[in-house]
Amino acid sequence: MADYRKMDTLILQTGPSPSSPVVLPTATEGPLLVARRKFFPAGAHIAAHRHIRGQFLFAAAGTMSVRTPGHAWLVPPSRALWIPAGTQHAIDAYGELQMRTLYLDAASAAKLPRNCVVLEITALLRELILRMTSCGSTGDDEMLGLVARLTVLEISRLPSCTLELPLPADPELLRLCERILRNPVHGADKERVAGSARSLYRRFLAETGLSFVQWRKQACLLHAVRLLSAGRPVTEVALELGYESPSAFSAMFRRSLGATPRTFLPRPARAADEP
């Protein structure tokens, strides 16, 4: 598995390569914002690292799993993860990943949440991000400055999306969580868990803020989103998660994420820029 830990060492440089960042101009009242695009193959791993700026991490295509201290996040297509400056994070790609990244200065970042959060993306913001990270984004400083200011304003108004899992610090509980995350449907050894269930569940609730049952349901939900993002049919995903019917699965999905499985993921309006 490839290691891309050095991907952001040159985030302030510009150049002709499609993967090079675009440094947007700064007017006296405008945001300092660096925009870049990167392409990663399925299974790519970006080792744990941090940035001096806040990072707006957008999945134009493909799905990302992001780990921060104490949390796991899922970023499906047309969602984004806001990562405050200095937050350590590692990224794994599910499917071919087209990543778009905006790095915000402190003044712009102050308009966003103080903690990591998955955000819904509007059609307008998607187009603004693709415009800033396209091959021909350099040259018109005035236009790019206006786009940058509009982008930060639009980002500050985005609703959040509950695609996260808190992770316990206790090594025993974390091993259990990792086992479930590898196989959310059948990954937990029920007999071993049941042997000290009362004590384990109390510790689990204290460390994560969720009961073990709630946590596992959320893990299954994130697994379902990942499968749907990969193009798996709703009926197939419902049966894999143990639901008796697609309608029962869809009802759970809508209660959790406010949309049905078929409407949660965007229809491909136009392809993101190819490498």
Question: Comparing 137 with 106, which gets the higher pLDDT?
Answer: 106
Question: Span 103-111, mean pLDDT?
Answer: 89
Partners of 66 in beta bridges: 73, 91
Residues 167-179: tens digit of each pLDDT: 999 888 898 899 8
Mean pLDDT for all residues in the chain:
81
CB atoms within 10 A of CB 262: 12
Residues 7-49: tens digit of each pLDDT: 333 232 222 333 445 554 444 344 557 888 999 999 999 999 9
- Strand, coil or helix: 1: coil
Domains in the chain, please, with CATH?
22-155 (2.60.120.10), 165-264 (1.10.10.60)
Contact criterion met (CB below 8 Å) for 50 and 68: no
* Predicted model pTM: 0.82
Encoding tokens for residue 16? 């002709």
Residues 79-100: tens digit of each pLDDT: 999 999 999 999 999 989 999 9
**The pLDDT value given to residue 166:** 96
